[in-house]
A and B are shown apart, each in its own frame.
Chain A
Amino acid sequence: GQQLNQSPQSMFIQEGEDVSMNCTSSSIFNTWLWYKQDPGEGPVLLIALYKAGELTSNGRLTAQFGITRKDSFLNISASIPSDVGIYFCAGPGSSNTGKLIFGQGTTLQVKP
C-alpha cells in the first residue's frame, strides 16, 4: 500500500536555527498536507499543497510540493521554542477523501 517516509525522525536544535524536514512516497500524491501536533493535542493543519512544484508559505513555515509528486519538504525559519512538537506529512489515499495516509512524524525540540 501507499506509504510516507519522513526524515529525520527527530531533531534537536538551537533557538533561531532554520529547520528542514522531508517526506517521500512510494507512489504519486496529488495533495500534500503538513500537520503539527503539540503534546496532548490533536494535529493541526499547517500547509496544504495541491500542485506539483508549488511553494507555499505560512509565516515562518514554507512547504514545497515536489515536481515528481513523490515528495514534499517543510522548512521552518528562525525557530522559536513554541515550534516544539511533532510534524506530520500526509496525503489522501486512493479514495481522495479525508482518509489520509500519515508519515511517522518528525519530532522537533528547540533549545532556548
Chain B
Amino acid sequence: GAGVSQSPSNKVTEKGKDVELRCDPISGHTALYWYRQSLGQGLEFLIYFQGNSAPDKSGLPSDRFSAERTGGSVSTLTIQRTQQEDSAVYLCASSFTATNEKLFFGSGTQLSVL
C-alpha cells in the first residue's frame, strides 16, 4: 500500500480481555517494528521483524505480549489479559530493510483499557 496501515485506529476494552492489533506495512518493506507511546512520552521499542522472524523481542513488557508476522507482510500484536497500564498508542513502522533506520510509521492504534 501507499503507507503503513494500522487497525483498528481506536480500541476500548475491559481489563482482562485479549486484544489484537494489526499492521500492514509498505509494500516491499522487509522490516517491521512495533513501538508503544504512552501519554506525553517518547516511543518505546517493543519488537521488530525481518521477514517473518523476530530477531529482537527485548522490548515486549511481559509474556502477555506477543507478535507475529506472516507472509513477510501483515503483523499482529496480541495483548492477553489486558491491564490498565497497557493503555497507550501502539505504533507500527516499516523500513526497506532492518539495517535502514528510516522508519515509516502508521497512525497508530489508541488502546484504552477500562
Q: CB-CB contacts of A23-49 with B at 8 A, as 1s and 0s?
A: 000000001010000001111110010
**What residues on B are CB-neighbors of A104 within 8 Å?**
41-42
Would you call A98 and B103 a contact (CB within 8 A)? yes
Q: Does A48 contact B102, Cβ atoms closer than 8 Å?
A: yes
Asked if A65 lies at the interface with its beta carbon under 8 angstroms from chain B, I say: no
Give bound CA distance, A90 to B44, whole Å.
11
Question: How far is the CB of B55 from the nearest CB of chain A, in Å?
Answer: 8
* A102 at the B interface (CB under 8 A): yes
Given A42-B93, A104-B41, also A96-B102 (CB < 8 A): no
Mark each residue of chain B from 1 to 41: 1 if its CB lies under 8 Å from any CB of chain A, else 0: 00010000000000000000000000000010100000001
B107 and A41: CB pair below 8 A? Answer: yes
Cβ–Cβ < 8 Å partners of B31 in chain A: 97-98
The answer, yes or no, to whether A105 is at the interface (CB within 8 Å) is yes
Name the one of A40, A97, A105 contacting B56, with C-beta atoms under 8 angstroms.
A97
Question: In angstroms, how far is the closest chain A Cβ from the Cβ of B22?
Answer: 15
Docked CA distance A96–B95 (Å):
13
Cβ contacts under 8 Å, A105 to chain B: 41-42
How many of chain A's residues have a CB under 8 angstroms from any CB in B?
25
Query: Which of chain A's residues have a CB closer than 8 A to the CB of B44?
Result: 102
What are the residues of chain B within 8 A of A33 when measuring CB–CB?
101-102
Query: Is the C-beta of A100 less than 8 angstroms from some C-beta in chain B?
Result: yes
Task: Establish whether residues A44 and B105, one from each chain, have CB atoms under 8 Å apart when the complex forms.
Answer: yes
Q: CA–CA, A92 to B103, complex, Å?
A: 11
In the complex, the answer to whether B101 meets A100 with C-beta atoms within 8 Å is yes
List the interface of chain B (C-beta within 8 A of A).
4, 31, 33, 41-45, 48, 56, 59, 91, 93, 95, 98-108
Binding site for B on A (CB under 8 A): 4, 31, 33, 40-45, 48, 88, 90, 92-93, 95-105
14 pairs from A and B in contact (CB 8 Å cutoff): A40-B107, A41-B107, A42-B4, A42-B105, A45-B102, A48-B101, A96-B101, A97-B31, A98-B95, A99-B33, A99-B56, A99-B59, A100-B103, A103-B42
Please provide the 3 A-B residue pairs with the shortest distance between their CB atoms, ordered closest to farther.
A42-B105, A102-B42, A102-B43
